[in-house]
Structure 1
Amino acid sequence: ISGFNISDEIYDIIDEIYKRKQRYVILKFNDEYTNLVVVKKGGRESIYNEVHEYVTTECAKSFCYVYFDFNYKTHGGQARDKVVCLKMGIPEQTPIKEKMIYASAYKSLQDSTKSIINIDCTDKASFEFNYIVNILLTKHESTN
């Protein structure tokens, strides 16, 4: 998809997540699929459960993008802090047009926000905190 806009507000919030001033932001397209909009954000005190609850209730039949600053420990006990871009949605429950738009816009979003760690969450199991942390441990533990 081309021709969609990412506002300065969204860039600023994502920047605040990387600077450890915000914990997360949830983004969706507007009804016309021309702009990404902030539907929810959380300060540093926020926990992943807030994202999980929102996605499983409010996005049950649609997609959204989430930038989240994950805190976790490596298998060796070292603390890690990684900002991850998630595309979240269950394809079987989403209209075809929306699936196509979110899939095609995902790479543009990653590139324009310089996202390094990106995870496609496409079923309820993949929405779980431990599932995502396990991916971080197995695929990204060597990156700082």
Structure 2
Amino acid sequence: MSSGVAVASECFQEFQQLKMSKSLKYILFKLNDSRTEIVVDKTSGNSDYEEFLDNLPADGCKWAVYDFQYKLEDGSQRNKLCFFSWSPDNAPIRAKMVHASSKDALRKPLDGIGVEIQGTDLTEVAYETVLDRVKRFSR
């Protein structure tokens, strides 16, 4: 199912910057006010995971790409690009429907995503939960 929502070119430009230059830690995306286009909501280059989570609204939908850093059991440092689809239970039904039907327009062109995370509450996007998922896909 597709919503017919377009994706602003800045979304792909910011994603390439995050992916290639590592100057960004995460990108938050949202629908514009008229719900016709996905746009960049916020970027951050120097933040921890808790700050990222603080930017996920309790009553609104967002998408995000986060450059997730973690260590393997041997101590080696790894990174995995994670795509988040945040649709909390408190969000309006219409917003959740448009969000779900618009996800692929943004997600499919983003080459290099390692893990997709669907979140409806903070337990589903908690650091340890995401770390478990990322490690499962690293094998």
| TM-score normalised over the length of structure 1 | 0.86
Match of 1:78 in 2: 76
How many residues are aligned here?
136
Amino acid corresponding to residue 9 of structure 1 in structure 2? E
**Alpha-carbon distance, 1:116 to partner:** 4.1
Q: Are 1:74 and 1:141, in contact at CA under 8 Å, matched by a contact in 2?
A: no
| % identical aligned pairs | 24
Counterpart for residue 111 of structure 1:
108
1:35 maps to 2:37: yes
Q: RMSD of the alignment, in Å? A: 1.5
Q: Secondary structure of the residue that 2:25 maps to in structure 1?
A: strand
Structure 1 residues not aligned, in runs of 5+ = none
Corresponding position of 2:63? 65
Question: Aligned equivalents of 1:65 and 1:121: distance in 2?
Answer: 10
> Which of residues 92, 96, 100 in structure 2 aligns to 1:95?
92
The superposition leaves residues 3-47 of structure 1 with CA deviations (integer Å, 9 ceiling, x where unpaired) of: 22212211111111111121111111012211112221101x222
Q: Runs of 4+ in structure 1 displaced over 3 angstroms?
A: none
TM-score between the two structures when normalised by the length of structure 2: 0.89
Which is helix-richer, 1 or 2?
1
1:130 corresponds to: 128
Change (3 A) 1:116 1:73: closer
- Amino acid aligned to 1:50: E
Structure 2: runs of 5+ lacking an equivalent: none
